[in-house]
Amino acid sequence: MERVRIDVERCKGCGLCKEFCPKGIISLAGYFNRMGYHPATVSDQEKCTSCAACARMCPDVAIEVYR
Ligand code: SF4
Ligand code: SF4
């Protein structure tokens, strides 16, 4: 089940979501998005608790969390 959806084209690769995820499941992808940033990706959706810390931290409102 997908709990977190990151809009990779909105993401500026700041890494704040990665820093604040208590589960440590967010990383920055190796590829570039259209704006030239490495977008955040969630490695293991199953470990996500839907705490939404990542979504609250994102300055670009690129993250949606589902319960
Ligand atoms: S909702 Fe919480 S556990 Fe899930 S990816 Fe975001 S910060 Fe991590
Ligand atoms: S906080 Fe938002 S803009 Fe920053 S890396 Fe995460 S998804 Fe991208």
pTM: 0.95
pLDDT at position 10 is: 98
pLDDT at position 1 is: 80
Query: How many structural domains are present in the chain?
Result: 1
**Closest Cα to atom 6 of ligand 1:** 54
Q: How far is CA 36 from CA 7, 13, 15, 21, 33, in A?
A: 14, 9, 14, 23, 5
Ligand 2 site, residue 60, Cβ cutoff 6 A: yes
**Closest Cα to atom 7 of ligand 1:** 21
Question: What CATH number corresponds to the domain at position 52?
Answer: 3.30.70.20
Q: Which ranges of the chain have pLDDT less than 50?
A: none
Residue 34 belongs to domain spanning: 4-65
Neighbours of 43 (CB within 10 A): 11
pLDDT at position 16 is: 98
Sign for the CA dihedral angle at 2, 61, 50, 27 comes to positive
